[in-house]
Amino acid sequence: MDLNTLRRRWLKTHLQELRAAKNKEEAKGGMLRFVGILCAAIPLLTAAVYFVGMRYYHGYVGQFGLGSTEFSLPADTTLHLGFYLLIKLSLPFVLPLVLTVVGLLIMLSVLFFKARWRLTLSWWLFRFFVLLPVVLKGVKIAHRYPAPLPSTA
């Protein structure tokens, strides 16, 4: 047998083992596990939002020298405060994220219609990221080690 035949056999057995492992995980119930995680995460997220709202209320009342137990705050108001503050906190990060997504969509649409630009860009990316000396050195090192062969035991 030549080396290529041994590599093909090893790859075939390796892929069969991977498929068998995936089937075992699917038999356990992939969707059921996701629903379980989701049901566990919803109360945790609600508690985190409630905690943010209570911390804000405690700090606000503390500015006037009052205790947070003197004026009790309803749970829905506390959740509203927490949600509002979390949105307000994440608002500075939304504009750069939206601009990045819009820029990527514009760039992809332009590259979709301009074949010459797409080829030029791919040539430069190949030149910078594939033909770097570090990458070429890694390729030389990787070619020294053959694929593992199946055991005959």
Q: What is the pLDDT of residue 9?
A: 84
Whole-model pTM: value is 0.48
Q: How far apart are CA 49 and CA 69, in angstroms?
A: 19
CA angle 133, 138, 144 (to 5 degrees): 130
The tens digit of pLDDT for each residue in 25-67 reads 566 667 788 888 899 999 999 999 999 999 999 999 989 888 8
Assigned token pair, 102:
């819009």
* C-alpha span between 153 and 148 (Å, rounded): 15
- The secondary structure element, H or E, covering residue 56 is helix 3-62
pLDDT number for residue 27? 60
**pLDDT tens-digit map of 1-34:** 677 787 888 888 888 887 776 666 566 667 788 8
Distance CA 121, CA 143 (A): 28
